[in-house]
Structure 1
């Protein structure tokens, strides 16, 4: 209600006008009043004064209340008009109300005027608000109708109760190929290929959630199916709730998505094929190469003149270079495929560095270089991490330093740094050389695969340029980082910082560390190997080391010989005919378990004699129980395999094997690992 209400009084008696004004001021103290008594003055006041309320006497000499009412209805129909009279009969009162008066007040009951005025003004406010809302609704409906009719998007109005199409715009008619009238004669199931129950469910969801989107296929007039995305929301149309649905043609998008999915599946299949190819190629290359390299090692143990010894040494060195290159290529492939993994165990970082330095001691002496290392006393004795990956990083860094240094020295240093987030300690491995250095403009390509600082055909340094790329990938895999300091013709230092966890206590040991057994110098060994050249090499090596050898040509033979013989150790190839090395290992471990269980029951006297018609089952193959118990509760089984991709070692150990040797196998590696299992104190622990 306005703070100042403008009240127009139509009255010929000043005293009565003052009385009316007094009563109104009681309820509207801030009111403004204007009194008129003739028709011209009344019309002028309607235009200039624009009253909020009109109070008119009924009987006046020149102008009566009924005439004033008619003029007010013509000019200001929404302004409350109250008639005030001294005497009025019922017939006149009804006539005034029918004519449009809002109320009438008798002068003898003028005290009612204030209440009636307030009620009239409230009714006026409600009428204006309702009219405003109606006009806004009408404008909104006109706007919606215009947008619906003229919009370029395909639009439908749908009855959610019957699924009938109530209306469709011109864009819908053009899209579907039916006229608007034809579309309005259809129901949604006529154009939507979804099951009717699914259509109803989508409509219910749109009503509840107010706006939903879903995908479907819509049928056009010519029978064509199009992929569509539908956005649906409820709108009120009169007293009926309809669904306003906007239909987008996404056929091209869905086609592109399907093509992308197909391409992704093809890429994944290609990646799997690549991994399988690399695994097979690794096996196929390493298996014959193990025989070649093995025979060269055997030849080296025979009487040779100086020239022959030189030829054999060169062949062995070339074989080692080939093996390292093959391993590097497989590592890069694993990184690219996202399959590189870490294996955590407890190890001594100083011993890890020493073992790498020992590998290069001979090469350093041959080049006349000093090869040494310094270790900060604060370096802990043991840490938890992937010792194999750490050695791989150090091997590449030390090897690179020696390769590019012709005089001077190569120096390695271990330095402890502050604790890193997620670990207890960071260790910095620094490899420094006095070699050729690296030009500044070449540093950006230093860690890229198959790239060398000197990429010309005549470069004096051999290699495929994979070493530092592998170092970078391994650093990232282990959440480490590094940097390079270099001066051309003066040398290079590579710093690698890796995080490690400290063991819980001194008693913590590597979960898979092999415990030495009874000390024995001459072993009875079962060799499971299907390749004849590798059989020859391994047999000769083992016999030279003082051991007896029995050969099994496949996994099934290995199991049969194990059950029939008395062996100290099994060297198990993986990829063999008839039965794989993994299947054979599982059978042997299961048989050992059977014997231990039987022995335990026999010792406590609680078991009944068991009768069996067949033995344990592994991978669909049966194992007949042995009449003779195995020589020990647990025979060491060592995988000797060309499967050398990341994760292979862990897979074989999980299958029941105790250790792992990758082909090609060196004589010293084979001797070392056998001594670990049979009590040589010098070979205890990982090398």
Structure 2
């Protein structure tokens, strides 16, 4: 029995078609006939429209006679059923073409289902984000009134009990605001909408600012909080500073929260990265807190996880913070890990690859201190961090002790030694130790500032406020004659913006009566004039009726919202169109900020806000108002 090539082709499950130079059918196999009907003879000589417009396949450069296959897909209906076929086309130099097709209908159906699922998921995410953004706005609006009015009330003449009650209200409101922020942040990250911005970051300032923000909380619990940035870390890095600060605040804040004795340290080092100009920046947050059971370490970064139910009851929390922090680090291309021992403490670490803005590592710590340095403290946190700082500064001889007699013996042997004396030892042994040292500095907590004069009288000639800034420590050690200037700290009322003698005329567009009263009180207390508009239409009319230095614009208002009002102000013909507009809104999404800037607003402040934030923006844009108006008008006249 002779088997022909067509007999073999008839056994295939794939469809096989051969056409002539006019795209008429010369041959179809049995699989074709089973799908489309008829016999092989019935199809011979018929024009096949599905192949008529196919371009020639690419000529094979090796053999020169058969063109290389081309792939394509098409869809058609047979007996009211839709089919998808994938074809492989081969052309000969004589003009004949062979098409081999296989049924991919099931695969296409899966692809369509997956695309529909993805669209539904995206729609679901959009719906969820709209709901969360709306709920965030609705909750932030009354929270702004609660926190703001409580702040104003605490500035009045309250007795001790009243002040304690008001402080409890403010702390509860702040906790609720933190929860709202966590939920919104987690939802954005979960939907894949985390926004990362790149700017120049000073890692030393970043670490110090986080420590100083947490310092009052740590001091309240009698905890130490300290930072160390290794000299290997570049002076400047390219990163999203706000997101890095968010992660650090979460980790260090948890450290303070879950620590009863000891303290927290933030340590930053640089590690090698294979890509030129990029450094692996490793940040370790140590605490001496309650620790985490080993069985809980595997899920500590999971959403809503709590390390231990008893800890959860004692310290509270949603368990969202660590999940958010890890997602942020992962979005930056980094990793996060934890090591912990019960009743010993924990170390949370994360590493992120960041571009180095400077080509060389920092040498600013080399202060060439020749004299011995003595640190007297019982704090394991201070012992570790000050030792690291002194080593990085090139201090060749230093001694650490928590024994007053040992300290005095060291000073007796080294008459030129510099004394760093922690507050408890300074209070008890300060006079004896300071008299034996050639230069003495007392280490004060933020709440002990008022005792400075007492320590000066017993012999100390300088001081450092904890958490100590590395730069301040090195300056005090290097130059004994440096004047003790007033120290401004993020944890001090001194950092509230100094009110400018220049008074500005402010227009507040706000439809919520409580928030309008709050903002008006804050603005007037700073010495500025304020008018209130109840909606966007009133704001637009007011801007055209009187000159304003700054407009504070709520986004959601009746009749005309803030976006439309800002757009119409920018379309005005006179100089009033250049007035700085600050969005003052409970909307907290990055898209809201983008929308405000897109219609011509100059800045964005989210409710609830701190009074100094609001006044700072008013004065910033008030100062810019005159130059903005003058510059824009000059440009308009020149173009005319």
- TM-based fold match above 0.5: yes
- Aligned residue number for residue 41 of structure 2: 181
Question: Secondary structure at the residue paired with 2:27?
Answer: strand
Q: 1:402: how far off?
A: 0.9
The superposition leaves residues 276-324 of structure 1 with CA deviations (integer Å, 9 ceiling, x where unpaired) of 2222222222123222322222333334343332222122111111111
- Aligned residue number for residue 285 of structure 2: 431
- Kept after mapping to 1: 8 A contact 2:57/2:90: no
- Aligned residue number for residue 201 of structure 1: 53
**1:441–1:656 CA distance, 2 compared to 1 (3 A):** same
The superposition leaves residues 92-134 of structure 1 with CA deviations (integer Å, 9 ceiling, x where unpaired) of xxxxxxxxxxxxxxxxxxxxxxxxxxxxxxxxxxxxxxxxxxx
- Kept after mapping to 2: 8 A contact 1:517/1:677: no
Pick one of 233, 236, 241 that aligns with 2:90: 233
> Is structure 2 residue 73 aligned with structure 1 residue 215?
yes
> Is structure 2 residue 551 aligned with structure 1 residue 570?
yes
CA distance in 1, matches of 2:135, 2:356: 37
**1:151–1:426 CA distance, 2 compared to 1 (3 A):** closer
Q: How does 1:263-662 map to 2 (within 5 A)?
A: 263-376=117-230, 383-416=237-270, 421=275, 423=277, 427-455=281-309, 459-498=313-352, 499-502=354-357, 519-520=500-501, 522-588=503-569, 590=570, 616=571, 623=572, 625-626=573-574, 629-630=575-576, 635-646=579-590, 648-649=592-593, 652-653=596-597, 655-662=599-606
- Aligned residue number for residue 18 of structure 2: 157
Pick one of 652, 662, 666 that aligns with 2:610: 666
> Is structure 2 residue 12 aligned with structure 1 residue 145?
no
Q: 1:482: how far off?
A: 4.3
**1:394–1:463 CA distance, 2 compared to 1 (3 A):** same
Aligned residues: 481
Question: Secondary structure at the residue paired with 1:175?
Answer: helix
**1:423–1:160 CA distance, 2 compared to 1 (3 A):** same
**1:425–1:151 CA distance, 2 compared to 1 (3 A):** closer
**1:536–1:205 CA distance, 2 compared to 1 (3 A):** same
Unaligned runs of 5+ in 1: 1-138, 193-198, 506-515, 591-615, 617-622, 680-687
CA distance in 2, matches of 1:645, 1:235: 61
**1:650–1:216 CA distance, 2 compared to 1 (3 A):** closer
CA distance in 1, matches of 2:82, 2:286: 69
Question: Secondary structure at the residue paired with 1:178?
Answer: coil
Question: Secondary structure at the residue paired with 1:574?
Answer: coil
**1:264–1:497 CA distance, 2 compared to 1 (3 A):** closer
CA distance in 1, matches of 2:614, 2:289: 35
- Kept after mapping to 2: 8 A contact 1:300/1:309: yes
**1:347–1:223 CA distance, 2 compared to 1 (3 A):** closer
CA distance in 1, matches of 2:499, 2:19: 86
CA distance in 2, matches of 1:330, 1:224: 47
CA RMSD of aligned residues (A): 3.5
Question: Secondary structure at the residue paired with 1:202?
Answer: coil
- Aligned residue number for residue 196 of structure 1: none
Structure 2 length-normalised TM: 0.67
Unaligned runs of 5+ in 2: 60-65, 361-496, 624-640
**1:422–1:452 CA distance, 2 compared to 1 (3 A):** farther
Q: How does 1:12-27 map to 2 (within 5 A)?
A: none
CA distance in 1, matches of 2:14, 2:345: 69
- Kept after mapping to 1: 8 A contact 2:222/2:261: yes
Q: 1:648: how far off?
A: 4.3
CA distance in 2, matches of 1:159, 1:382: 70
Question: Secondary structure at the residue paired with 2:54?
Answer: helix
> Is structure 2 residue 30 aligned with structure 1 residue 170?
yes
**1:526–1:352 CA distance, 2 compared to 1 (3 A):** farther
Could you say which structure has the larger radius of gyration?
1
**1:398–1:521 CA distance, 2 compared to 1 (3 A):** farther
CA distance in 2, matches of 1:478, 1:422: 18
- Kept after mapping to 2: 8 A contact 1:334/1:646: no
The superposition leaves residues 359-394 of structure 1 with CA deviations (integer Å, 9 ceiling, x where unpaired) of 322322332222333445676665443221122112
CA distance in 1, matches of 2:133, 2:208: 31
- Kept after mapping to 1: 8 A contact 2:56/2:91: no
Q: 1:331: how far off?
A: 1.7
CA distance in 2, matches of 1:420, 1:314: 51
Question: Secondary structure at the residue paired with 1:372?
Answer: strand
- Aligned residue number for residue 479 of structure 2: none
Q: 1:176: how far off?
A: 2.0
- Aligned residue number for residue 604 of structure 1: none
**1:558–1:407 CA distance, 2 compared to 1 (3 A):** same
The superposition leaves residues 503-523 of structure 1 with CA deviations (integer Å, 9 ceiling, x where unpaired) of 699xxxxxxxxxx99943543
- Kept after mapping to 2: 8 A contact 1:568/1:636: yes
- Kept after mapping to 2: 8 A contact 1:165/1:184: yes
The superposition leaves residues 237-289 of structure 1 with CA deviations (integer Å, 9 ceiling, x where unpaired) of xxx76433333233333222222222222222222222222222222221232
Question: Secondary structure at the residue paired with 1:187?
Answer: coil
Question: Secondary structure at the residue paired with 1:338?
Answer: coil
- Kept after mapping to 1: 8 A contact 2:535/2:559: yes
Q: 1:166: how far off?
A: 2.5
Q: Which moved more, 1:646-655 or 1:358-367?
A: 646-655
CA distance in 1, matches of 2:208, 2:106: 62
